[in-house]
Amino acid sequence: MTVAATRLRGTGGRCARLSRVRDPPTHPDRAPTLAEMVRAQTGMAWSRARRLCEEGRVLVDGVRCTDPATRLAPGAAVAVDERAQRLRTGPLVATAIVYVDRDVVVLDKPPGMLSVADTPGNKATLADYARTLLRQSGAGGVDVKLGVVHRLDRETSGLMAFARTAHAQRALAAQFRAHTVERLYHAIVHGAVAAQRIESSLVLDRGDGLRGSHERRAHAARETPREARRAVTHLRPLVALTGATLVECRLETGRQHQIRIHLAELGHPLLGERVYIRDHRGPVIEAPRTMLHARTLGFLHPRTGRQVTYEREPPEDFREQVDALRLRSG
């Protein structure tokens, strides 16, 4: 029998009664998450374990931890108190704020949430939820609409930056246009993928109504059309899985759907892909969403000029998919 543990930053809290826990699932190459330890301790369903964390009913070393994806280090104690006062919760939990100052806010977008409105008046977006969360947390700065400088697809999870001032928006947008922003993604893709660099010219219609590479058109003209946009993706395999690969994708450019298009055209569409998979002829591994996570985001701070870099591990559904395929291959 062991006691679960981690060291955290966060608001202090009185430690609830500690419970002894069953040994967590053993993954020698990674530390268990807080949700895994809560589940091991209580035997409850994954959804309930995650909800207890998000509601503020789990303490680690006496500190309230609301992020179920927190990795635990050996030696610290996890306490679960289902009767503790619940934190105010909403579509976006407080731990989604990775960094905030008067100029920018960096957020960890959950899968299934729109980055910005797709139709006029739609407030169910990361931008609007984040503005509410900032107001509730007293984060300072001007309570104005957050400035958009880049986007993530609805099903993609991970790091996004918004500007809080007009100057910050101009400065960040210029960096994205110049492709100087560091952007690393993790993706789970079909098949075995080798390290390589992919470059193509993306067009709105590759000939079948879908975005894609001009070079892939059946009767592509020798001359690249003026509207085409150069797109470069660097791939690096991380873990070989059963029928799939966990890969790192580094964007040299950042075009809409760039990673999804490049991997699909390479013959290795993302797990959960619904659009760019029509040409895939191999077995399809089912997934609840597009398995793509924006893990690293780095840029020059618009006011100080310093390089800042942020990282967030993939959410639980992504890790569960990797673990399931890893266990099959083992």
CA dist 296 → 23, 35, 217 (Å): 31, 23, 33
Half-sphere exposure of 169 (CA within 13 A, CB side): 11
The answer to whether domain 1-89 and domain 94-180 are alike in fold is: no
Name the CATH superfamily for 1-89: RNA-binding S4 domain (3.10.290.10)
Average pLDDT score, the chain: 85
Amino acid at 73: A
How much of the chain is helix, strand and coil, in % rounded to 5?
Answer: 20, 25, 50
CATH topology of domain 185-293+320-329: Pseudouridine synthase (3.30.2350)
The domain spans of the chain are 1-89, 94-180, 185-293+320-329
Residue with tokens 């001032």: 165
CATH topology of domain 94-180: Pseudouridine synthase (3.30.2350)
Q: The whole model's pTM is what?
A: 0.74
**Helices 46-54 and 34-42: angle between axes, nearest 10 degrees:** 120
Catalytic (active site) residue 153: yes
**pLDDT per position as a tens digit, 176-188:** 999 999 999 999 9
Of 103, 128, 153, 317, the catalytic one is 153
Closest residue by Cα to residue 153 from 258, 231, 67: 258
Amino acid at 107: L
Backbone angles phi, psi at 190, to 5 degrees: -70, 140
Per-residue pLDDT tens, the chain, 330 aa: give them: 333 333 333 333 323 333 333 444 545 556 788 888 899 889 998 888 888 887 888 988 887 787 788 888 787 789 998 888 776 556 888 889 999 999 999 999 999 999 988 888 788 899 999 998 888 777 666 667 899 999 999 999 999 999 999 999 999 999 999 999 999 999 999 999 999 999 999 999 887 888 989 887 766 566 788 889 999 999 999 999 999 999 999 999 999 999 999 999 999 999 999 999 988 988 999 999 999 999 999 999 999 999 999 999 999 999 999 999 987 765
Backbone angles phi, psi at 291, to 5 degrees: -85, 75
Which residues, at least 6 apart from 56, have a Cβ–Cβ distance to it below 8 Å?
64, 66, 84, 85, 86, 87
